Structure 1
Amino acid sequence: MNLLAIETSTECCSVALACGDEVVVRSEVAPRRHAELLLPMCDAVLAEAGLSRRQLDAIAVGRGPGAFTGVRLAISAAQGIALALDLPVVPVSSLAALAQDAPAESRYILAVIDARMGEIYSGVFRRNDGLPLEALGPEVVGTAERLVLPMQTSWTVVGTGWASYAPMLRPRLGCEPLFADGARYPQAAAVARLALRELASGQGVPAEQALPVYLRDKVALTTAERQQAW
Structure 2
Amino acid sequence: MKYDDDIRARSYKFRDEYVQATPWWYRGEMHLGFTLIFTTAVIVYCAAQLHAPTFAEWLAVVPLFLFGNWAEWAAHRYVLHRPTKYFSMVYKRHCAVHHRFFTHVTLEYKGHRHWRALLFPPFAPVAFVLAATPLALVIGFAFSRNAGYIALLTMAAYYLMYEGLHTLSHVTESPFLDRVPLINTVRRLHVTHHDPELMATQNFNLTFPICDTLFGTRSDASRSAREPMSPSGG
Higher helix share: 2
Q: With structure 1 as the length reference, what TM-score do the two structures score?
A: 0.27
Pick the structure with greater CA Rg. Answer: 2
With a CA cutoff of 8 Å and minimum separation of 6, indicate the structure with the bigger relative contact order.
Answer: 2
